[in-house]
């Protein structure tokens, strides 16, 4: 009897998936301490999947939930194989995974291979003496002849990347905060320990990992000095402050770090999914996807998307980037917002929330939503004098706005960060309202899941003249042909798609979805003169060929 194909694990489920990032501290507080927790997440899964009015995402990525002194809110880990008591324990974690899986939601954890907390027992041991066996887990160097830092490398959060450890007279390297000493991936010890971590969580049922800051995981063994930045060259991602990060970012050996993580992960679970975080130009990302025979990451965020302003001509270059530069088997991955950057409703202005949702959810590739964007949450700057993140990222990390009641439905107590405008922006009010942003997201997800063209079809840019104020593209699969047109202007825009596509699209189509109420599903569209309302985005179905 031949094996049933349906019983084989689907190794590329993530291609047609929509992922959702949860910042656990700010999603839902179940125990009244003002801090989100795992039981809170489990209690709010109906919002994401399983309920008739759920968004219907396919997977969640949880930012770090491990024990941490919270200097970098979980990205400074003091124990990789446990849960921070503020969030719960391994039992509540298992319950959350079971509840997610029951609904068909995949669960991705955040793997932080680049650095630990300075409170991690490995570092506590390593810093005590040069002879300690843990010493080689970190990167140590003698002071420069003048007693200063060993070289000129700067940390991602500013200042020197080196910190003097007085007791042993050497500096340790930290690519982020000084409380986050970098792990040394040149020793097999680090590979083995991280493999243990990967196995630990896969055995508990997680489906994959978002892998943190991979571009900083390897540095030059000779610690060569970075050259000065050249204005406009490899910016914004390879330069910061006054230097080009030639020797402490995106080293060729970095791919070996990912391969090591992948080897451990796939040995434990063949269909594991690895999503890489690397702030790199899209021209370089392909290296991190490997080959079909030897994949590295399955997906890697294209952050040029997050770095592009709400401008049609600039966005066109950005959305064509992965199409031009990823390898043929590569699959783009984009987010508009995350816990490290101002929310896109704040960056672009709230008027762009609807067309931006259409853009994100109709491009080729796996979209990653950041909790709260589906209801149009904006940045909430904390009051003067309150600052949790020294680098200034608190405003995009404020609690999820579930309802307009006191505590925003997030907490019964006082939230750790202030709530935004819960009276006008909250999930409870938007859920039953067919005109709400939440309903638009839900509808876009429904369309995407129902359409092979949108979820896995080909992408082809339509060549609108520069200055049109809109972008347009064709998504196609099995005879299904959809054109997406997104306006970037708050005044009316008219485009001639017939001419731009040189007749390839035919003369007319029918509306599938519009972000403005004046246009309804089924309305005819004359492709030679598409009049877009201010801030309108439109999906049009063409006649099958």
Q: Which listed option, ligand NOJ, Mg ion, none, makes contact with residue 429 (CB within 5 to 8 Å by class)?
A: none
The nearest distance, CB 403 to Mg ion, in angstroms, is: 17
Percent helix, percent strand, percent coil in the chain, to nearest 5: 30, 20, 55
Nearer to ligand NOJ, 342 or 412 (CB): 342
| DSSP bridge partners of 163 | 172
User: What's the Cα-to-Cα distance from 250 to each of 44, 78, 94, 388, 506, rounded to whole Å?
Assistant: 38, 26, 35, 29, 45
Both tokens assigned to 507: 């003369």
Does 340 sit near ligand NOJ (CB under 6 A)?
Answer: yes
Residue placing its CB nearer to Mg ion in the complex, 88 or 332: 88
Rg (CA), the chain: 24
CB closer to ligand NOJ out of 117 and 451:
117
Contact with ligand NOJ (CB under 6 A) among 165, 207, 212, 476: 212
Phi then psi dihedrals of residue 334, to 5 deg: -135, 150
Cα end-to-end distance, the chain, whole Å: 40
Minimum CB separation from Mg ion for residue 44, in Å? 13
- Are β-strands 458-462 and 470-477 bridged in parallel, bridged antiparallel, or unpaired? antiparallel
Q: Which helix (H) or strand (E) holds 324?
A: helix 312-325
Q: CA angle, 239 as apex, 237 and 242 as ends, to 5°?
A: 155
User: CB nearest ligand NOJ: which residue?
Assistant: 75
Q: Residue 37 binds what, of Mg ion, ligand NOJ, none (CB under 5 to 8 Å, by partner type)?
A: Mg ion
If binding is defined by CB under 6 A, does position 476 make contact with ligand NOJ?
no
Site string for ligand NOJ, 277-296 (x = CB under 6 A): x-------------------
Q: Does 374 bind ligand NOJ (CB under 6 A)?
A: no
Let me know: does 269 contact 202? Beta carbons within 8 Å.
Answer: yes
Hey, how many other C-beta atoms are within 10 angstroms of the C-beta on 361? Answer: 22
Which of 35, 149, 333, 417 binds Mg ion (CB under 5 A)? It is 35
532 binds, among Mg ion, ligand NOJ, none (CB under 5 to 8 A by kind): none
Position 176 contacts ligand NOJ (CB under 6 A): yes
Residue 171's DSSP bridge partners are 141, 164
Least Cβ distance, residue 499 to ligand NOJ (angstroms): 43
277 is catalytic: yes
Q: How crowded is residue 89: how many other Cβ atoms within 10 Å of its Cβ?
A: 12
Find which of ligand NOJ, Mg ion, none residue 75 binds, CB within 5 to 8 Å per kind. Answer: ligand NOJ
Query: Distance (Å, rounded) from C-alpha 520 to C-alpha 528?
Result: 19
Which of the residues 71 through 90 are near ligand NOJ (CB under 6 A)?
72, 75
Residue number, 62 or 333, with CB nearest to Mg ion: 62
The answer to whether residue 161 forms part of the interface with ligand NOJ (CB under 6 A) is no
> Which pair of structure tokens corresponds to residue 242?
């006054």
Q: How far is CA 516 from CA 119, 161, 331, in A?
A: 53, 49, 31
From the list Mg ion, ligand NOJ, none, partner contacted by residue 212 (C-beta under 5 to 8 A by kind): ligand NOJ
Residues involved in catalysis: 212, 277
Contact footprint for ligand NOJ (CB under 6 A): 72, 75, 112, 176, 212-213, 277, 339-340
Contact footprint for Mg ion (CB under 5 A): 29, 31, 33, 35, 37
């Amino acid at each position: 009897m031949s094996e049933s194909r349906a019983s084989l694990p689907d190794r590329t489920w993530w291609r047609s998936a929509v992922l959702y990032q949860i910042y656990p501290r700010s999603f839902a507080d179940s125990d009244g301490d003002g801090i989100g927790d795992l039981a809170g997440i489990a209690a709010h899964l109906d919002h994401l999947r399983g309920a008739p009015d759920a968004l219907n995402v396919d997977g969640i990525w949880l930012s770090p939930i491990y024990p941490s002194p919270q200097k970098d809110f979980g990205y400074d880990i003091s124990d990789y194989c446990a849960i921070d008591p503020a969030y719960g324990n391994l039992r509540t974690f298992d319950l959350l995974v079971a509840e997610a899986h029951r609904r068909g939601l995949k669960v991705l954890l955040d793997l932080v291979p680049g650095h630990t907390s300075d409170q991690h027992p490995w570092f506590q041991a390593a810093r005590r003496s040069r002879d300690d066996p843990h010493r080689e887990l970190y990167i140590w160097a003698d002071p420069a002849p003048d007693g200063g830092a060993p070289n000129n490398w700067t940390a991602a959060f500013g200042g020197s990347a080196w910190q003097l450890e007085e007791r042993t007279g050497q500096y340790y390297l930290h690519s982020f905060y000084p409380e986050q000493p970098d792990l040394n991936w040149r020793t097999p010890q680090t590979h083995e320990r991280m493999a243990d971590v990967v196995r630990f969580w896969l055995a508990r049922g997680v489906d994959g990992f978002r892998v943190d800051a991979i571009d900083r995981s390897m540095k030059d063994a000779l610690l060569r000095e970075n050259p000065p930045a050249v204005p406009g060259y490899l910016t914004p991602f390879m330069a910061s402050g006054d230097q080009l990060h030639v020797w402490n970012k995106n080293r060729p050996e970095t791919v070996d770090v990912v391969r090591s993580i992948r080897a451990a992960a796939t040995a434990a679970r063949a269909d594991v999914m690895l999503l890489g975080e690397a702030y790199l130009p899209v021209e370089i990302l392909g290296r991190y996807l490997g080959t079909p025979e030897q994949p590295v990451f399955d997906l890697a965020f294209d952050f040029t998307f997050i770095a592009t302003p709400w401008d049609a001509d600039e966005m066109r270059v950005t959305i064509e980037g992965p199409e031009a530069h990823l390898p043929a088997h590569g699959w783009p991955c984009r987010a508009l917002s995350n816990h490290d950057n101002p929310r896109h409703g704040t960056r672009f202005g709230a008027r762009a929330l609807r067309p931006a949702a259409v853009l994100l959810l109709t491009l080729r590739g796996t979209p990653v939503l950041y909790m709260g964007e589906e209801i149009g949450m904006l940045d909430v700057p904390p009051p003067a004098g309150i600052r949790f993140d020294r680098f200034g990222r608190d405003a995009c990390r404020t609690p999820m706005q579930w309802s307009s009641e006191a505590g925003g439905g997030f907490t019964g107590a006082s939230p750790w960060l202030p709530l935004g405008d819960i009276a006008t922006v909250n999930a409870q009010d938007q859920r039953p309202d067919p005109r709400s942003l939440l309903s638009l997201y839900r509808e876009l997800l429904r369309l995407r899941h129902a359409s092979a063209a949108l979820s896995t079809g080909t992408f082809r840019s339509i060549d609108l003249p520069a200055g049109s104020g809109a972008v347009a593209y064709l998504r196609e699969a099995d005879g299904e042909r959809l054109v997406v047109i997104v306006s970037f202007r708050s005044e009316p825009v008219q485009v001639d798609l017939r001419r731009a596509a040189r007749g390839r699209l035919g003369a007319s189509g029918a509306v599938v979805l519009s972000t403005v109420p004046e246009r309804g599903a089924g309305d005819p569209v004359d492709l030679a003169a598409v009049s877009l309302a201010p801030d309108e985005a439109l999906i049009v179905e063409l006649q099958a060929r």
